[in-house]
Amino acid sequence: MEEKSTFWKSAMVYGLYLALVLTLFSVILYVSGLILNTKVGYVSIALTIIGIVVAQIQYRNRELNGTITYGQALGFGVAIMLFAGIVTALYTLVLYTFIDPTLIDQTKAIQEEAMLKKGLTEDQIEAAMSMTSKMMTPGWLSIMGLVGSVFSGTIVALLTSIFVKKQPSEDTFDEAMEEVKTEE
């Protein structure tokens, strides 16, 4: 029973830590003018992977006595990203609504330029930008960010859980059975 009571609390705490790191990184990118640089975005992917692995290992060692199944590690990684996604979605909403509403227009301009480089016609670009404009609102960006966080967290956790899992040994079972016998 103790596992269930600590699972959500631990996932929330580690998710908030990860959200804090990702938000601070985003603020640094914004202040330095690199917020729209996609290549720098790979650093946030690395931070996410490191955050999930560290959290899974800490949860395994501190809460589960050094053992964790693949399923437990996977679920914990997804739960971490759910909480991190909620916080980063709120940050995105605030950033695009209050701090710098012009970022949406800048993003659209970058997308339009990329389409021109690909050789799309004016009509194709106009059609694509019409669709993009409907989805490029602070609310939609936040929702897509939350869904994207959980989805990417699931993919990352699917992989990291392979390396973090640690099954209890057979000796542990035997030791627990010995304790039960001595209590009788």
Q: C-alpha dihedral over 117, 123, 125, 129, to 10 degrees? A: 170
SS (H, E, C) 87-139: HHHHHHHHHHHHHCCHHHHHHHHHHHHHHHHHCCCHHHHHHHHHHHHHHCCHH
The answer to whether residue 120 is domain-embedded is no
The answer to whether 156 and 48 have CB atoms below 8 angstroms apart is yes
The answer to whether residue 95 is domain-embedded is yes
Domain boundaries, position 50? 2-101+140-183
- Count: domains in the chain: 1
Show pLDDT as tens, one digit a residue, over the chain (184 residues): 444 569 999 999 999 999 999 999 999 999 999 998 889 989 999 999 999 999 999 999 999 999 999 999 999 999 999 999 999 999 999 999 999 999 999 999 999 999 999 999 999 999 999 988 889 999 999 999 999 999 999 999 999 999 999 987 766 666 666 766 666 6
Q: pTM of the predicted model, to two decimals?
A: 0.85
